[in-house]
Amino acid sequence: MSERIYKLMKTDLMLGHLKSDEMFNEQTLADRYGCSRTPVREAAGRLVIEGYLNKYPSKGYIIRVPSENEVRELRECRYVLECSVIDKLTANASDEQIRALGCLPAGDPDDVLYSNNLQFHMEMARLAGNEQMAEMIESLLYLLVRPLVSSRYSSFGDYAGRVQDSGAPLTPEHAAIIDALLARDAVRAKALLKDDIYPAKY
């Protein structure tokens, strides 16, 4: 139960279902997820340790918002790791494996950010075959989802609409990365990755 609530809370944090300017307590979350306070407390404790929440004793929790400097540093770490992934994929992955990166579910408008953006990058990381690297990238992806979307789109709904308007489960940026990987063009794939990770204002 604790693991299930942890995953539900983490997804809600990523998708903006929990507002970053509101404090919420264990009972509120227990009511939301239809469970007792114990699994909520355990799940929230993990999210505090991982840097997603701040805890205020006797009051509750509030979403931790990274500073601009933290976001820049997290993006830099992510870019370096994913460039290594691109090198591995262009050298070792088959065309079939690379094309499979585009076989993602179309997704519901409410979870398209999670099911498309995160899944695409995590599948790339897993395909590279380095489990430790994949875990690091996954952690960075979760920490960066909210600031990435808020800096490039007016809302999570705007992001979801843009993906759906493309008529495919992939954003145009992700489709272009797949094309570059198929062409074994690591330089172009890294340039596209950089455009995908770094918003124009940075």
Q: Tokens standing for 38?
A: 């114990």
Instruction: Tell me, yes or no, whether 131 and 55 share the same domain.
Output: no
Residue 49 maps to which CATH number?
1.10.10.10
**Residue 160 belongs to a domain:** yes
Per-residue model confidence (pLDDT) at position 107: 55
> 46, 63, 80 — which closes off a domain?
63
The dihedral formed by the CA atoms of 39, 44, 49 and 50, expressed in degrees to the nearest 10: 110
Residue 82 maps to which CATH number?
1.20.120
Q: How far is CA 105 from the centre of its chain?
A: 16
3-state secondary structure of 24: strand
Instruction: Tell me, yes or no, whether 91 and 152 share the same domain.
Output: yes
Looking up tokens 């994913």, which residue turns up? Answer: 82
Instruction: Tell me, yes or no, whether 37 and 84 share the same domain.
Output: no
Please state the domain count of the chain: 2
Instruction: Tell me, yes or no, whether 90 and 155 share the same domain.
Output: yes
Instruction: Tell me, yes or no, whether 179 and 95 share the same domain.
Output: yes
**Residue 97 belongs to a domain:** yes
Per-residue model confidence (pLDDT) at position 144: 80
Tens digit of pLDDT per residue, the chain (202 long)? 899 999 888 878 776 778 777 898 999 999 999 999 999 999 999 999 988 899 998 889 998 877 889 888 999 999 999 999 999 999 999 999 999 998 866 555 544 555 677 888 989 999 999 999 998 998 888 788 765 555 444 455 555 555 555 555 677 888 999 999 999 999 999 999 998 888 654 3
Per-residue model confidence (pLDDT) at position 41: 94
Long-range contacts of 196-200 (CB under 8 A, 24+ apart): 196/171, 197/75, 197/78, 197/79, 197/82, 197/148, 198/75, 198/79, 199/148, 199/151, 199/152, 200/152
Q: What global pTM score does this model have?
A: 0.73
The residue segments making up the domain with residue 24 are 2-63
**Residue 152 belongs to a domain:** yes
